[in-house]
Structure 1
């Protein structure tokens, strides 16, 4: 396995320099958009006192951090930069954490929309500022379970001398035995099933409310339902990314050249793409946020009241 991970950062990646350049352009575009939205979020007090905007900011921050870290690892792999295994463990733990934070946060945002539409009288109580802070802590605790499982199994299997070795950093170096990969697969599949059940439950309940609504309430509910549908597509991409490591592992057994190509496609479609949909779904489609964004982007020249 270690030979393969070394190759990932070696000659094979040197042949796809055009693909690396494409990734750099996409990452820079997404980071600029996210930075503008994050700065807009902190310009208005109403945003950081409202649950859906706070969770939106969490996704923007976690997505931006993941894009930066994964891109640095991509560049390190491309130039075959080695580092101590213990340092790779720290970096990989953070990347795995924020790899999971986004889909878990999106699931929490789905629950928030469910409460807002199906339980409007209790929305203020259940989605208060203090509750949101606790929710963020719970999100990070739940998101830390996969990397705790992966690294705990690795610590129990690796010798002490392994930590001082220098390797090209890759998640594959922590998978010393096939059964470790099976346990990792089981944890991801459990998260996949639980989030899917939560999403389906919320969407079915929201659909029932949308059908029973009338007048302005119907219009408002249907607008929320459209947002939820777009949200479902983004969350689907994020959930599929949980399966990418297992698809890549299976492809690696067939062809290493095909493995490199599949990993690149997975990164573009299931890592970068979902993280460019957040600004579209929760930023550009929200009237309040768009007004604030226009005002901020025009350096305060816009006279509209938010």
Structure 2
């Protein structure tokens, strides 16, 4: 996806080698921290059956795993650029396709999380029937199929246009190597805008319904509805960061025409502020705000020695 333009050849070109090294060290440390946090949360998820059989936790774990793999691949691309290693286009295609699918899958799963909260708050009597393990797995498969469809269309167009000699050309891995014509780029932009419009409508619908339910509720129900509202707002922030990620390349094109050095710094900032930040929010939404999951995290973080945390939460 275009938001992973971190992989272009100029991202780490600066006048100072020390600055290059510092930027790479910062990226490596941030990714390492995120991966450690995600791995610990995944460990906690798999240790408890109640998490493995509950829709919202399954979707949460899926997003953690999805983001972790995406960060690993993004890091590989960053290292490829930093070490100035060129790879034939034919070998980059698969990596670019996987990263694009993972990127789209994250957005769709976050939307599914919002729908799950809507069902839990606004349709509590039907929640148990709708949010079953079978339905959840079917939903995840559908999300993967839908995410893959975008890439399959791009690949079909690419193979129909690309000359045989193009596959042997050496390059840095980025999704733009699959976009050889201007109309193809516009088509992708239109599809992406349509996708975010649909997601936006779903979010607004869920938020209005949950807000209405919160006003009409009382006691524990009001507390749950209010918490769901805040969760939805955090999910909206995640998706907003994803949208900004998609818009970043257009800003970078304008900046590049003005000053190349500013362009390099802007691109680095975009990667830190939007690509990494959007994936940092997910552990916060469920990992720290959810009482049961947070209790489990504390229990295993203390190596099961903390007496105030029950292993049966």
Q: One fold, TM greater than 0.5?
A: yes
Which whole-Å CA distance do the structure 1 matches of 2:12 and 2:230 have between them? 45
Which ranges of structure 1 fall in alignment gaps of 5 or more residues? Answer: none
2:261 counterpart (235, 238, 257):
257
After superposition, the CA RMSD in angstroms is: 1.9
Determine whether 1:165 maps to 2:152.
no
Equivalent residue pairs, number: 302
Tell me the residue number matched to 1:297: 301
Which whole-Å CA distance do the structure 1 matches of 2:274 and 2:150 have between them? 18
TM (normalized to structure 2)? 0.90
Which has the higher mean CA deviation after the structures are superposed, 214-223 or 142-151?
A: 142-151
1:182 counterpart (172, 180, 186):
186
1:113 counterpart (113, 117, 138):
117
Tell me the residue number matched to 1:45: 49
What is the Cα deviation at residue 78 of structure 1? Answer: 1.1
Q: 1:182 to 1:257 in 2, by over 3 A?
A: farther
Which whole-Å CA distance do the structure 1 matches of 2:23 and 2:148 have between them? 31
Determine whether 1:226 maps to 2:230.
yes
Q: 1:216 to 1:110 in 2, by over 3 A?
A: same
Structure 1 residues 77-116: aligned runs within 5 Å: 77-116=81-120
Which has the higher mean CA deviation after the structures are superposed, 131-140 or 170-179?
A: 170-179
Is the 8 Å Cα contact of residues 121 and 224 (structure 2) preserved in structure 1?
A: no
Which has the higher mean CA deviation after the structures are superposed, 121-130 or 150-159?
A: 150-159
Offset from partner CA, 1:186-210 (integer Å, 9 cap, x none)? 1211111111111111101111101
Tell me the residue number matched to 2:145: 141
Determine whether 1:235 maps to 2:239.
yes
User: Aligned to 2:171, what secondary structure does the other structure show?
Assistant: strand
Which whole-Å CA distance do the structure 1 matches of 2:35 and 2:171 have between them? 29
Which whole-Å CA distance do the structure 1 matches of 2:151 and 2:257 have between them? 24
TM (normalized to structure 1)? 0.92
Runs of 4+ in 1 over 6 A off after TM superposition: none
Which ranges of structure 2 fall in alignment gaps of 5 or more residues? Answer: 1-6
What is the Cα deviation at residue 244 of structure 1? Answer: 2.7
What is the Cα deviation at residue 168 of structure 1? Answer: 2.1
What is the Cα deviation at residue 222 of structure 1? Answer: 1.1
Which whole-Å CA distance do the structure 1 matches of 2:200 and 2:35 have between them? 28
2:31 counterpart (27, 30, 33):
27
User: Aligned to 2:47, what secondary structure does the other structure show?
Assistant: coil
